[in-house]
Amino acid sequence: MAQSTAVKPDTGTARPADDTELGRTTIASSVVQKVAGIAAREISGVHAVGGGVSRAFGALRERIPGAGTASTAGVAVEVGERQAAVDLDIIVEYGASIVDLARAVRRNVIGQVERMTGLEVIEVNIAVNDIHLPEDDEETAPSTGSRVE
């Protein structure tokens, strides 16, 4: 009786990225999320990854010991055996060409994820949720007058 040597892939978060006769390499979805988030932030003109809600949850998550970092806030991935799809929520700097920025982000995310994981990135969907204005960084100047002297 012949036995099958095929092994079903794990249905958890880790997916096979490289099967050889010498073993299998699996890459967790969270790894793909981090790579994609970092690659998106590398592009000049991206102020932040994640919308207001995801960034707020990320900031909250950073304060909880052992909860990880917010580097995946605003990044969602679907990872299969050989392919990945990425969804990004970004905030762009005012004045940046959103179309050119989206192209650059998409190109960098695809390149970094494919280079680092060996997975084929089949799509990168980008949602621009806000525009960051320079005056958003300025703090209101303290008043020169004082109520008490």
Can you give the CATH number for the domain in which 127 is found?
3.30.70.1350
Residue appearing with tokens 């304060």: 63
Report the pLDDT value the prediction gives residue 143, as an integer from 0 to 100. 52
Look up the pTM and report it.
Answer: 0.70
Number of domains comprising the chain: 1
Report the pLDDT value the prediction gives residue 97, as an integer from 0 to 100. 97
Q: Does some domain include residue 144?
A: no
Percent of residues, the chain, with pLDDT higher than 70: 66
Q: What is the spatial distance between Cα 73 and Cα 33, in angstroms, rounded to a whole number?
A: 9
Cα end-to-end distance, the chain, whole Å: 96
Report the pLDDT value the prediction gives residue 33, as an integer from 0 to 100. 97
Q: Does some domain include residue 17?
A: no
User: How does the average pLDDT of the chain come out, rounded?
Assistant: 79
Q: Does some domain include residue 5?
A: no
Checking if the pLDDT of 68 tops 80, the result is no
Q: Which domain holds residue 75?
A: 26-133
